[in-house]
Amino acid sequence: MVKTSSSARLARSRVWAEPCLIEAAKKEYDGVIEEFLAVGEKLFGPYVWGRYDILFMPPSFPFGGMENPCLTFVTPCLLAGDRSLVDVIIHEISHSWFGNLVTNASWGEFWLNEGFTMYAQRRISTEVYAPWGEPTPEVWSSPLDTQSHPAAQALLALFAASS
């Protein structure tokens, strides 16, 4: 087990893995999970689930990641050694707001889950990785006109209420 915050008192996430993967997991994810959670909270409101842990599954795990409130199962393939695949974790964390906290009414609307999650993933990624402190791209903050689709207006209202 690896605590992913520099202070055990502040750690609300842990990475769980087989002993042979612990050092690679620590190198890849030490400190970044808390940063992703904090940026998500800044953008979308409180993280209501308390803990956010990651469990590295055996290599036969057939998915990049599968989120659940408080725990995400991930493939050890995410241990690239250069943090180039952390966007998968950002995606799974984004489900904490879109998929776990607010979700679709039926499987016919499941695309909303992934659509809003991809939006959240890109917002968090932009905040964390915008080079040289550049501001968030204008596309994220441009107002929607009155002719926009009702779903777009609802999404804008949701984000306006959370800021």
Give domain limits for the chain. 2-162
d(CA 66, CA 163): 28
d(CA 25, CA 18): 10
Helix, strand or coil, per DSSP, at residue 2:
strand
Fold of 2-162: Zincin-like (3.30.2010)
pLDDT above 70 coverage of the chain, percent:
79
Dihedral pair phi/psi, residue 121, rounded to 5°: -60, -45
Question: Per the annotation, does 149 bind a ligand?
Answer: no
Question: For the whole model, what pTM was predicted?
Answer: 0.74
130's CB contacts (< 8 A; 6+ apart) are 136
- Point out the residues that are catalytic: 92
pLDDT of res. 142: 46
102, pLDDT greater than 80: yes
As a whole number, the mean pLDDT across the chain is 83
Question: Per the annotation, does 114 bind a ligand?
Answer: yes
Hey, what amino acid is at 24? A
